[in-house]
Structure 1
Amino acid sequence: MAQQTYRLPDDFFFGAAMSGPQTEGHWRSGDKLENLWDTWSNLRIEDFHNRIGSYGGNDFTNRRHEDLVSLKSLGLDSVRTSIQWSRLLDQDGNINPAGEQYYHDLFADAREVGIEIFVNLYHFDMPTYLFRRGGWENREVVEAYAHYASKAFRTFGKEVHYWFTFNEPIVEPEQRYTSGYWYPFIKDYARACAVQYNISLAHALAVREYRAAKEEGYLHDSSRIGLINCFTPPYTHKNPSKADLEAVRMTDGVSNRWWLDLVTKGELPQDVIDALNSRGIELPTRPEDKYILADGKVDWLGCNYYHPERVQAPASDTDENGIPKFADPYVWPEAEMNTSRGWEIYPKGLYDLACKFRNEYPDLEWFVSENGMGVEREDLKKDKNGVIQDDYRIDFVRRHLEWLARAIQEGAKCRGYHYWAVIDNWSWNHAFKNRYGFVEVDLEDNYRRRPKKSAAWLKKVATTHMVE
Structure 2
Amino acid sequence: MGKIELPTQLPKDFFLGAAMSGPQTEGAWQATGKLPNLWDRWSNLNITDFYNLVGSYGGNDFTRRRDEDIQIFKDLGLDSVRTSIQWSRLMDKDGKLNQAGADYYHELFAAFAKAGIDVFVNLYHFDMPAYLYDRGGWENREVVEAYANYARAAFDEFGQEIKNWFTFNEPIVEPQQRFTNAVWYPFHHDFAEARRVQYGISLAHALATHEFRLAQAAGTVRADAKIGLINCFTPPYTKENPSEEDLEAVRIVDGVDNRWWLDLVTKGEFPQDILDDLDRSDIDLGQRPGDEQVIKQGPVDWLGFNYYHPARVQAPSKKTDQYGNPVFAEEYVWPDAVMNKSRGWEIYPKGIYDFAMTMRDNYPDLEWFVSENGIGIQGENANKDEKGQIQDDYRIEFVRDHLKWVAKAIEDGAKCRGYHYWAVIDNWSWANAFKNRYGFVEVDLDDNYSRHYKKSADWLRRVATTHTIFDA
> 2 CA distance for matches of 1:135 and 1:153?
22
The structure-2 alpha-carbon separation of the partners of 1:450 and 1:293, relative to structure 1 and needing over 3 Å to count, comes to same
Residue 327 of structure 2 aligns to a residue whose secondary structure is coil
Amino acid at match of 2:241: N
Q: Which consecutive segments of 4 or more residues in structure 1 shift more than 6 A?
A: none
Please list, as runs of the form range in 1=range in 2, the aligned pairs for 1:82-231 lying within 5 A after superposition.
82-231=84-233
Match of residue 241 from structure 2: 239
> 2 CA distance for matches of 1:369 and 1:165?
13
Q: What's the offset of the Cα at 1:72?
A: 1.1
Does the 8 A contact of 2:178 with 2:186 survive in 1? yes
Match of residue 262 from structure 1: 264
Q: What's the offset of the Cα at 1:282?
A: 1.9
Scaled by the length of structure 2, the TM-score of the pair is: 0.98
Q: What's the offset of the Cα at 1:2?
A: 5.7
In terms of mean alpha carbon deviation, does 3-12 or 366-375 score higher?
Answer: 3-12
Amino acid at match of 2:119: I
Amino acid at match of 2:9: R
Residue 466 of structure 1 aligns to a residue whose secondary structure is coil
Residue 367 of structure 1 aligns to a residue whose secondary structure is strand
Match of residue 428 from structure 1: 430
> 2 CA distance for matches of 1:208 and 1:39?
31
Residue 207 of structure 1 aligns to a residue whose secondary structure is helix
Q: What's the offset of the Cα at 1:56?
A: 2.2
Q: 1:382 aligns with which of 384, 387, 398?
A: 384
Q: 1:408 aligns with which of 383, 407, 410?
A: 410
> 2 CA distance for matches of 1:137 and 1:261?
21
Q: What's the offset of the Cα at 1:280?
A: 1.1
Scaled by the length of structure 1, the TM-score of the pair is: 0.99
Q: 1:288 aligns with which of 268, 290, 294?
A: 290
CA-to-partner distance for each residue in 1:25-51, whole Å, 9 max, x for gaps?
A: 011111110100000000000000000
Does the 8 A contact of 2:7 with 2:408 survive in 1? no
Unaligned runs of 5+ in 2: none
> 2 CA distance for matches of 1:67 and 1:185?
34
CA-to-partner distance for each residue in 1:41-74, whole Å, 9 max, x for gaps?
A: 0000000000000002011001111111110111
CA-to-partner distance for each residue in 1:165-189, whole Å, 9 max, x for gaps?
A: 0000001101111111100111111
> 2 CA distance for matches of 1:4 and 1:427?
32
Amino acid at match of 1:292: V
Q: What's the offset of the Cα at 1:301?
A: 0.1
Residue 429 of structure 1 aligns to a residue whose secondary structure is helix
Q: What's the offset of the Cα at 1:85?
A: 0.3
Amino acid at match of 1:153: F
> 2 CA distance for matches of 1:463 and 1:219?
31
CA-to-partner distance for each residue in 1:326-374, whole Å, 9 max, x for gaps?
A: 1011111100000000000000000000000000000010000000000
CA-to-partner distance for each residue in 1:128-177, whole Å, 9 max, x for gaps?
A: 00000000110100000000000000000011000000000001101111
Q: Report the number of matched residues.
A: 468
Q: 2:82 aligns with which of 80, 89, 97?
A: 80
2:38 corresponds to 1:36 = yes
Amino acid at match of 1:77: D
Sequence identity (%): 66
Match of residue 279 from structure 2: 277
> 1 CA distance for matches of 2:277 and 2:71?
50
How much is the aligned-residue C-alpha RMSD, in angstroms?
Answer: 0.8
Amino acid at match of 1:50: N
CA-to-partner distance for each residue in 1:214-246, whole Å, 9 max, x for gaps?
A: 111111111000000001111001111100000
Match of residue 308 from structure 2: 306
Amino acid at match of 1:169: P
Match of residue 393 from structure 1: 395
Unaligned runs of 5+ in 1: none
Amino acid at match of 2:395: R
